[in-house]
Each structure stands twice: as C-alpha cells, then as structure tokens.
Amino acid sequence: MSTYVTHRRIIGAHKPPRASNTWTEKILSLLLVAALICLGVACVIALLQVLQPSDSATTLPVRLDPKASQQKTESAAAADTRVDPAAASSTSSAVMESAARAGAVTALDSEPSAEELARYRKAARVLDPEVMQHVPDTFDSGVKNPCWTNSSGAFRCLPYFYVTGMFHAGATSISEKLRLHPDVLTDACTGCQFWGEEGKPMSFYLEHMREAPNAIKQAPATKVLMDSSASTFAFYWAAGGKAHRGYAEAMRPCYQSCVEGFNVHKVPVADCMTAKCFNASLTADVKRATEAGVDWDTEAHNPLLVRAVYGDRPPKMILVARDPIARLYSAYHGYPHYHGKYGKSSSGFTAYVAEQVGALRTCEADFGAARCALYFEALSHREEMVYFHADQLMRGMYALFLEIWYRFIPASNWLIIHSDDLFSQPRETLARVVTFLNITRPDDATLDRMAAAGQMKSFTAGQEPVEPRARQLLAELYAPYNSKLAKLTGDARFEKWNEQPVQ
C-alpha cells in the first residue's frame, strides 16, 4: 500500500485509458516519434565529432613503442596525431632524403625569403628566447662584421665567420693558421663552443666577445671576428640543446620525481624514467616546436637559431672534413675515457666500434636512423646509457648535418675543405680560405707563416692499423653519408672514402 501511494504522488492520479485514438492524434504521434529519432541521431553525430581527434590538433606525443606503428600505411600515419619515431627513415641512406618535407626546405644555394627569415626569428624566440633577446633586428650597414650598438651604448659584434669543425679533422689547425691573418680577430669566446654546449647563454657569449669590437670599430671595412668552436657543426642531441628547451624543461622535474619515487617507493629511477619521462619530454619538445611554427624533425635545430640570430647577414662557415674512420680512430686515442675503457690498441678500438655501432643499430631498428643520429640519448634510457661513447659516431655523419645547415645558411656561405688538402697543401688551401672570406690577401711571408702554424698532432702515431672488423662496421655505417656529402659539395673525393682498403 505504501509503495502504491508513493508512486501516485510522483506520477499523478491514475486515469483509465480511452478505447481508441483519433487519426489526427495518430499522425501527430508519428511525427513526434520521427522528430525524436532525428534528434537522437543528431546528438550521436555531435558526440562522435567531439570525441574524434581534430586535424588541427597539436601534433603531440612522440610515442616510444614504434614497432606497433610499422603496420600503418603512409596515409594512416600522416593522419595520426602522434609523432611516431618509426616513421623516420629506417636506413642510413634514407636519413638524408627528406629535402622536401613539410615545405621547409629551400634550394641548397638559395637565400630564404624575407618571410622565411621572419618565421625563423619568430620561431627562435619560442625555442630559445634568451638567444634572441640580446641581438638586434639589423646590424650596422657600414661595418663588414655584423655589429651593433646596444641599448647601453656598448658596441657589440657577432662572429663574421665560424670554423665549425670537426674535431680530429684539422679544425684547430686551420683556426691557428687564420689567427695570424692581419684582418682576423679572436676573443675570449672564440673557442668556447657556445653553440655546441649547454650552460652558455647569449649574454655570456657577447660579454666574452667584447674586446674584438673595439678593434673592429677602428677598422670597420676590414677587421672580422672568428669563432673557431669545432662543436658548432654537428648538432646531435647534447650539442643541440639550445633548440630543445622544451625537452629539458619537462625532463628536469620528471627526473626529480623519479628520484623521489625511488627514495620513497624504491622504484628504480631508470624504470620510472622509461615509463614517465622520455615520452613526456619528447612530447613537450614537439609541442614547443609546434608552438614555434616549425617542423620538429627538419627545422627545430641549432642552424635555425644561428640563422635567426643573423637574419639577413648570414655568417660564413668553414668545415674541415676528414675520412670519418680515420677521424674516429684519432678521437678514440685522443680522449682517455675511450681507450681507458676499451684499451689503447687497435683491438680495443674494434671492441669500442662493435659495441657502439651495435647500440646505434639497435636504436635504428626501433626509432629509425635519422632520429637515432640526432636525438639518440633523448629517446630512452637504453640509449642514454651508451650516449657518451656513441656521440663520436655521429660526428662523422657530415652530410646529415650539412644538409640541414644548407636549409638555413646556403651553400654559397660554406667552404668545405677536404682534410687531405689542408694536410698536404696548407698554403694553397689558405689562399682559398682567404678568397672565400673576402679578406685581405696576405703577402707571401705572412701566408708562409700562416701555413706553418697549427701543425697537426697525431694521436695514432705508433698504433696498429684499424682492424678489418672495425673498418667494415664503420664503412657500412658511413657509406651513405659519404656519398651524400660528395653530392652536396660536388667533391667526388668524399665518395672515395667508401673505398676502404682490404686488410
């Protein structure tokens, strides 16, 4: 009884049903049902549109389970809102075939348009605001070197040219030679690796380049400032941090939370970082690039920042390139932490190469060659554990970096020197450099002094030759990059590096 009474209070008094409905009522009922069905369908469609990812959504996370995506078609991958590392090139030769991606690449020897330069500068202010904060929009037109007077009235200058690299290829040698040219100036930060090392903001760089501007001001038509930091050229992950602030800003607190998690819950830091930090930090970095209006893979690199800083006055760039196997063998014996671990011998070098090339190939199988070369230790804890040794492998991939540099600073602003020329014909090579830099041609006595300076030091004298196993592994690794370098530069001798001697 109580249930019945309560029910009646809610629905009202019961009324007996009528025996039948009129035709008008039947039609109205059918119309009402149809309207309700249409309304329901519309609601479902609207709900699906809300739940479906938008094409304009920010391209976010860099997923670290790339194997799952290898079954996707190219069209499906393009529609995916996630950046899949496996979508990068899976072979070394494919690394350098991305010249037309995202409309970001111009002809190798064409200057970016004014619109593109404006885009670079806007992007740089997002990627690394501090690097743009201290440089002007334009430089003094009456000064050969890019200089300006800042808001405090101080005369400041950026380098007119860079000897960009490489280590153990002759970059230091040619820098020492150029120091003797009467037009070339150096300063406290001429070799401080500003672009290739973290912890050095633009304010630091300019503060340590404040003496040379005084001399430039006295001879504005001839004096130029040199930066001879060999780490500038190869912007692999650790040397390219200025363009990847988003990753660092996300990684630091995540790493700290993993440390705290270990202290409280005893979860290994590596496991925590693998689960939480790497993907999230890459995602943050991709998001930063998207906010900057640039493509993360092809544009979010130091060369963009360099060009943004210089605007319509791009610097001149010099690269000394040496056979990457010989360069690596020299580096192995030149840096104690390498031969200290594996042994100061040819067999030790083979062990080093086998381990490091193996680590790189393992990375490539999961993430693709391009991303492993450029982002290696940022991808996962596995790669991070071997990075400090594997970075030397990347430095010999000249074409990978040069092609990206060419997108922002055209080929006409580059002089690529074959190390054999520097070693065997220093005087003639220096004459080429002087012409390229458009500086005063020195007299014969000065040119002779320059040629004699900066003698190359051998770190492999007295060592056994590179063993066949190491040479084979490295030849296979570097072959596509050597071929590409020959095409980029028009110097067929770089292709000759692929003709390794059989031992």
Task: Please tell me the distance from the alpha carbon of residue 72 to that of residue 80, in angstroms, as a whole number.
Answer: 10
Q: Are residues 140 and 282 in the same domain?
A: no
Q: Are residues 357 and 258 in the same domain?
A: no
Task: Please tell me the distance from the alpha carbon of residue 486 to that of residue 490, in angstroms, as a whole number.
Answer: 5
Two tokens, residue 157: 């200058």
Number of domains in the chain: 2
Q: For residue 267, what pLDDT is reported? A: 80
CATH number, domain with residue 472: 3.40.50.300
One-letter amino acid identity for 16?
P
Is residue 70 predicted with pLDDT exceeding 90?
A: no
Asked whether residue 25 is assigned to any structural domain, the reply reads no
Q: For residue 30, what pLDDT is reported? A: 58
Is residue 53 predicted with pLDDT exceeding 70?
A: no
Asked whether residue 37 is assigned to any structural domain, the reply reads no
Q: Are residues 133 and 214 in the same domain?
A: yes
Of 292, 325, 358, the last residue of a domain is 292
Task: Please tell me the distance from the alpha carbon of residue 183 to that of residue 480, in angstroms, as a whole number.
Answer: 39
Of 262, 292, 322, the last residue of a domain is 292
Q: Are residues 173 and 206 in the same domain?
A: yes
Strand order in the sheet with 224-227: 184-185, 224-227, 161-165, 316-321, 414-418
Asked whether residue 51 is assigned to any structural domain, the reply reads no
Q: Are residues 354 and 424 in the same domain?
A: yes
Q: Are residues 371 and 441 in the same domain?
A: yes
Give me the domain span that covers residue 314: 114-244+300-496
Per-residue model confidence as pLDDT tens digits over 224-283: 999 999 999 999 998 999 999 999 999 999 999 999 887 777 889 999 999 999 999 999
Per-residue model confidence as pLDDT tens digits over 167-215: 999 999 999 999 999 999 999 999 999 999 988 999 999 999 999 999 9
Helix (H) or strand (E) holding 415: strand 414-418
Q: Are residues 278 and 184 in the same domain?
A: no
Average pLDDT over residues 22-34: 55
Q: For residue 261, what pLDDT is reported? A: 83
Of 261, 292, 323, the last residue of a domain is 292
Asked whether residue 484 is assigned to any structural domain, the reply reads yes
Asked whether residue 386 is assigned to any structural domain, the reply reads yes
Cα dist from 110 to 18, 86, 107, 163, 311, whole Å: 87, 31, 5, 22, 14
Q: Are residues 362 and 489 in the same domain?
A: yes
Per-residue model confidence as pLDDT tens digits over 356-366: 999 999 999 99
pLDDT above 90 as % of the chain: 69
Q: Are residues 223 and 157 in the same domain?
A: yes
Asked whether residue 79 is assigned to any structural domain, the reply reads no
Per-residue model confidence as pLDDT tens digits over 112-171: 999 999 999 999 999 999 999 999 999 999 999 999 999 999 999 999 999 998 999 999
Mean residue pLDDT across the chain: 83
More confident residue, 185 or 26: 185
CB-count exposure of residue 68 (10 Å: 0-12, 13-18, 19+): exposed
Q: Are residues 284 and 359 in the same domain?
A: no
Asked whether residue 66 is assigned to any structural domain, the reply reads no
Q: Are residues 180 and 225 in the same domain?
A: yes
Q: Do the beta carbons of residue 77 and residue 59 sit within 8 Å?
A: no
Q: Do the beta carbons of residue 165 and residue 319 sit within 8 Å?
A: yes
Two tokens, residue 387: 């990075």
Q: pTM of the prediction?
A: 0.80
Asked whether residue 185 is assigned to any structural domain, the reply reads yes
Q: Are residues 331 and 465 in the same domain?
A: yes
Task: Please tell me the distance from the alpha carbon of residue 137 to that of residue 410, in angstroms, as a whole number.
Answer: 20
